[in-house]
Amino acid sequence: MNDLFNDQISGRVWVVGDDINTDLILPIQAYYLPVEQQPAWVFSANRPGWSGDVGQGDILVAGRNFGVGSSRPAARSLKNLGLACLLADSINGLFYRNAINFAFPALEAPGVTALFKEGDRAEISFEAARIANPASGKTLDGVPMPAQLLAILQAGGIYSLLQSENLIR
């Protein structure tokens, strides 16, 4: 197992709404910048300054249809911003694939936005998709990531796999 992946995740929660799209996560201006500069632009249009407030290991809780939009590597920016996990009522399929491939833990958990308010702590057993809010005592079972996909995440993403097979540089 890759040391990037931690099955037990806990952290401070940030909450965003429905239909958060990839133009908001990785604006086109940022797409041209070096990878390490891209995370500072996350949500700059809808939540200016937010990226500076995010701490290492924080958790993003989102509503329905998170990540709708383009194929750009928006999940990589969320990971590089320091976020430990995404929990969403539902996730766009393309974003979900990118999250797995960039080794950014993401869980679908219908109803998760009702479980948290901003600033709460979330505790997550990722493999079991078990989510808890210790302050309220409430828990929720999300949709576990299928084993084949979890394996890609645990391996550190798909590029690590391809590199280990000498298929990419």
Partner 1 sequence: MGMTAIEKILARNSGLARVRPGDIVTTKVETAILFDNNFMETSWREILHVYDPAKIVVVFDHRAPASHVLSAKAHQTGRAFVKQFGIERFHDIGFHQGISHALVADHGYGLPGTVLLCSDSHTCSAGVFNLAARGVGAPDMTYAVAKGETWFRVGETIRYDLCGALRPGVSAKDVFLHLANTHGDHATMNVEYGGPALAGLSMNARRTISTMSAELSVEFATFEPDQIMIDHVQARTDAPFEPVWPDTNADYADKRVIDLNLIEPLVALPDAVLNNARAVGDVAGTDIDQAFIGSCANGTLDDLAVAARVLAGRRVADGTRLVVTPATQSIYRAAMAEGYIQTIVEAGGVVTNATCGACGGGSMGLLGPGEICITASTRNFKGRMGDAAARIYMASPATVAASAIAGVIASPMDYFT
| Dihedral over alpha carbons 109, 111, 115, 119 (to 10 degrees) | 70
CB 121 within 8 A of CB 134: yes
Select the residue interacting with partner 1 from 55, 93, 111, 134 (CB under 8 A): 93
Query: Is 114 among the residues that bind partner 1 (CB under 8 A)?
Result: no
Query: Is 52 among the residues that bind partner 1 (CB under 8 A)?
Result: no
Judged by CB, which is closer to partner 1: 107, or 133? Answer: 107
CB 103 within 8 A of CB 5: yes
> What's the burial of 48, exposed, middle or buried (CB within 10 Å: 0-12/13-18/19+)?
exposed
Query: Is 79 among the residues that bind partner 1 (CB under 8 A)?
Result: no
Q: Segment near partner 1 (CB under 8 A), from 8-16, 84-92, 111-119, 134-142?
A: 84-92
Query: Is 149 among the residues that bind partner 1 (CB under 8 A)?
Result: yes
Judged by CB, which is closer to partner 1: 94, or 140? Answer: 94
Measured CA to CA, the distance from residue 44 to residue 40 in angstroms comes to 8
From the list 136, 133, 145, 112, the residue with the least C-alpha distance to 11 is 133
Query: Is 113 among the residues that bind partner 1 (CB under 8 A)?
Result: no
Least CB distance from residue 163 to partner 1, whole Å?
Answer: 8
CB 156 within 8 A of CB 2: yes
Least CB distance from residue 135 to partner 1, whole Å?
Answer: 29
**Residues paired with residue 124 on neighbouring β-strands, in sequence order:** 9, 131
Query: Is 90 among the residues that bind partner 1 (CB under 8 A)?
Result: yes
Residues that bind partner 1 (CB under 8 A): 19, 21, 23-24, 27-28, 31-35, 38, 44-46, 64-65, 68-73, 75, 90-94, 97-98, 101-102, 108, 146, 148-149, 157-159, 161-162, 166-169
